[in-house]
Amino acid sequence: MSQVGVDEWVARAEERRERRGGPLGRAEAAWDALPPVARLVLFAALVASVPFITDSDFVIRVGVNTLLLGMLALGLNIVVGWAGLLDLGYIAFYGFGAYSYALLASDQIDVHLSSWLAILIVVVASALLGLLLGLPSRRLIGDYLAIVTLFFGQIFVEVVVNLDRVTLPGSDSPIDITGGPNGIPGVDPIVLLGFEFLTPTDYFYLTLGVLVVLIAALYLVDNSRTGRAWRAIREDPLAASLMTMPVKRLKLLAFVCGAAVAGLAGTIFAALQIGVFPRNFETPFLILIYAAVILGGAGSIKGMLAGAAVVGISFELLRQPSDASWIFYGGVLLALVVTVRPWRVLAAVLAATAALGLALHALLAAVWPEAVAGAPRADWALSGAIDNWMALPADPKAAGNWAFVALIGVVLWLTQASRRTRLLVLPLLLYLGSFVWENRLLLDPSVTRLLMVGAILIVVMSLRPAGLFGAKRIEVM
C-alpha cells in the first residue's frame, strides 16, 4: 500500500504550482478560505461603499453599468461556462428585456404597469423566449448553435428597428411599437415598496442588491444536482446522458435561465436610461459581455465579477482621451512588468524607450519641425512629458495610419523572433505603439475602444486560453 503522506505531497504538487505565488497568491488563498457568506457580504459592503467615496455622477454611472455587465456575465456564464453552450445572440435577451419593460411602463402603448408586475412579466417572457430559441436548437451541436444564436441576435435589432410601422390586419393606420431607430423614450422609473428609483445612485444600489441575490442563487445552484449536471454536460455530454442526466432538457434549462437573467438586467437598464435604443443592443456590446466572461475564465462566479469589473471599467474609461491614456499606458506598463524579467532588464528597456523618444524628438525638431508641431490630444497628467518625448505631427492622420500598419507588422514579426531580438526591438515597439496611440487612436476614441477589445481578446486567448482568472482545464479533442 502506498505511503499516503508522501503520495499526497506529490499529488498536490500541481496544486501548489497552480496557486499564484507572492502576495497576490496569498491574498487569493485567504479570500478562498473565507466562508461563502462572508465573501458575499464583504463584496457587497465594498461595492456599496463606492457612492460614499465619490461624488461624481459619471463614476456612479460607470459603476451601475459595470454591475449590469456583471449580471450579464453571470447569466452568460450559466450558458457558456456551466453548460458549455455557445450563445452568440445573448444580447438579444437583454434587448428583449429592456424593450419589453419599456413597452409595459411607458407612453409607447400607454401601458404603465406597476414595477413588480412589469419586471415579473418581463423575466417570464424572457425565459419563454429562451425556451422558444432553445427548443429547435436542442439537437444542434455547438457550432450550429453558435450560428443560429448569432443570427438571432442580428435579427433582433433589425426587427426592433423596423417595428415602427406595423399595420395590423383590420386597421388602416400603422402603429409604432418599438420606436424604430429612435427607440422608446420616457420609460417609467422602477418603483418598489413605495420607493421611487430616480438617480443613478438609486439604481446603483438596486443593481447591487439584485446582483447579490443573483450571486447567492447561482452559488446555491452550482452546488446542487443541477449545477453538477451542467458541469458534467460541459465535460462530456454523451457520458453525462449515460450517467442518468437528461442532456437536452438541461441544456434548455441553462438557456432559459441565462435568458431570464439577461431579461432582468434589461429591465433595470431601461429604467436607468429612462429609455431604450436599438444601438444599445448591437454586436459590440455582445463582444463586451463575452470579453468579461472569457477574461474572467468561464465557469467561476468570482471570475465573472472580476472580468466584468476589468472590462466594464476599462471600456468606460476608454471613452475619454484623458482617461483612456491612463488605461493605455497603465496597461502597457502592467504587461511589461508581468512579462519582462528581471527588473534590471525592464528598467533598461524603459530607459531605452525614453532615450529613443527624446533623441528622435530633438532630431526631428531640428530637421523636420512639422513632425513635432502638434500638441498632445489628451489632457492628462503626463501631457507635458509626452509633448517632449513623442513626435506629434500637426497633421497626424496619415502618419498615424502608416505607423499603425507598421506596428502590426512589427508585432507579427516579433511573435516569431527570439527572446533577444524581442528585447532589443522592444523600445522601438513601445515608441511606435505610443506614436500610434497619441497620433491616431486618440483621434477616434469610439473606434479605438472596439479595436482594443478585439486586440485584447486575441492576445489573451493566445497567451492564456483559460482566461485571466480561469482555472486550468484539460480538453479532450
Partner 1 sequence: MAPLLELSGVYKAFGGLLVTSKLDLVVEEGEVVSLIGPNGAGKTTVFNLITGVYRPDEGSIRLDGRELVGMAPHRVATAGIARTFQSLRLFINMTVQENVTAATYGGTRARMWQSVLRTPRMRREEREVREIADDVLGFFGERLAGYRRLQPAYSLSYANRRRLEIARAMATRPRVLLLDEPAAGMNPRETAEITELVARLRDERGLTILVIEHDMHVVEGISDRVVALDHGVKVAEGSFDTVARNPSVVEAYLGRVEEPA
Partner 2 sequence: MDFFVQQLVNGLTLGSVYALLALGYSIVYGILKLLNFAHGEVYMMGAFAGYFVLIGLGGPASPAVPVALVLVLMFLAGALSAGLLGVAIERFAYRPLRDAPRIAPLITALGMSFFLQSTALLLFGADVRSMDTSAMISPSTGIHVGPLDISLVRILVIVSAALLMVALMLFVGRTKLGKAMRAVAYDREAAEMMGVDVNRTIVAAFFIGSILAGVAGVMVGLVFDRVWHLMGFTAGLKAFTAAVIGGIGNIPGAMLGGLLIGLAEAFSAGYISSTFQNLIVFGLLILVMLVRPSGLLGTPALEKV
| Interface with partner 1 (CB under 8 A) | 1-2, 4, 8, 11-12, 14, 217, 220-221, 224-229, 231-232, 235-236, 238-247, 253, 257, 471, 473-474, 476
What separation in angstroms does the CA of 333 have from each of 188, 214, 222, 430, 442? 45, 35, 37, 10, 18
Q: Is the dihedral of CA 252, 253, 258, 264 positive or negative?
A: positive
Pick 82 or 93: Cβ nearer partner 1: 82
The site partner of 298 among partner 1, partner 2, none (C-beta below 5 to 8 Å per kind) is partner 2
Specify the residue, 85 or 119, whose C-beta has the smaller distance to partner 2.
85
Q: How many residues belong to the chain? A: 477
Binding site for partner 2 (CB under 8 A): 80, 86, 136-137, 139-144, 146-148, 150-152, 154-155, 158-159, 162, 238, 283-284, 287, 290, 294, 298, 401, 404-405, 412, 415, 440-441, 444, 447-448, 450-451, 453-458, 461-462, 465-466, 473, 475, 477
Q: How far is the CB of 7 from partner 1 (least distance, A)?
A: 9
Report DSSP letters for 60-121, one per residue.
HHHHHHHHHHHHHHHHHHIIIIIS----TTHHHHHHHHHHHHHHHEETTTTEE--HHHHHHH
Q: Which residue has the cell 435579427?
A: 155
Going by C-alpha positions, the residue among 94, 165, 163, 172 that lies closest to residue 126 is 94
List all residues 6 or more positions away from 383 whose beta carbon is below 8 Å from its beta carbon.
376
Nearer to partner 2, 124 or 461 (CB): 461
Minimum CB distance to partner 2, residue 355 (Å) = 29
- Work out how close the CB of 186 gets to partner 1 at its nearest, in angstroms, rounded to a whole number: 36
Nearer to partner 2, 60 or 304 (CB): 304
Residue type, 95: G
Q: Of 4 and 367, which has the nearer Cβ to partner 1? A: 4
Closer CB to partner 2, 162 or 322, in the complex: 162
Out of partner 2, partner 1, none, which partner does residue 413 contact, by CB within 5 to 8 A per kind?
none
Q: Which does 252 bind (CB under 5 to 8 A by kind): partner 2, partner 1, none?
A: none
Binding partner selected for residue 14 from partner 2, partner 1, none, CB under the kind-specific 5 to 8 Å limit: partner 1
130 or 312: whose CB is closer to partner 1?
A: 130
What does 137 interact with, of partner 2, partner 1, none (CB < 5 to 8 A by kind)?
partner 2
**Binds 440: which of partner 2, partner 1, none (CB < 5-8 Å by kind):** partner 2
- In the complex, what is the shortest distance from the CB of residue 451 to partner 2, in angstroms, rounded to a whole number? 4
From partner 1, partner 2, none, which one binds at residue 221 (CB under 5 to 8 Å depending on kind)?
partner 1
Task: Please give the sequence-ordered ranges of beta strands (E in DSSP) within 113-263, or none if there are none.
Answer: 184-185, 191-192, 195-196
The single-letter code of the amino acid at 362 is A
Contact yes or no for 138/248 (Cβ under 8 A) = yes
Instruction: Report the residue number, 252 or 310, with the smaller CB distance to partner 1.
Output: 252
Which of 108, 463, 418, 445 lies closest to 274 in space, CA to CA? 108
Number of H helices, E strands in the chain: 21, 6
Beta bridge partners of 203: none
253 binds, among partner 1, partner 2, none (CB under 5 to 8 A by kind): partner 1
Q: Which does 456 bind (CB under 5 to 8 A by kind): partner 2, partner 1, none?
A: partner 2
- Which residues pair with residue 112 across a beta bridge? 105
- Can you read off the three cell numbers belonging to residue 65? 453599468
Nearest distance, CB of residue 140 and partner 2, angstroms: 6
- Inter-residue contact 391 to 435 (CB < 8 Å): yes
**CB closer to partner 2, 41 vs 239:** 239
Binding partner of 159, given partner 2, partner 1, none, CB within 5-8 angstroms per partner class:
partner 2
Least distance in angstroms from the C-beta of 120 to partner 1: 15
Cβ atoms 299, 77 nearer than 8 A: yes
- The sign one gets for the Cα dihedral 143, 145, 150, 151 is positive
**Per the structure block, which three cell numbers stand in for 295?**
477574461
How many Cα atoms are found within 13 Å in the side-chain-facing hemisphere of 274?
A: 5
Q: How far is the CB of 225 from partner 1 (least distance, A)?
A: 5
Q: Which residues does residue 111 pair with via DSSP β-bridges, in sequence order?
A: 106
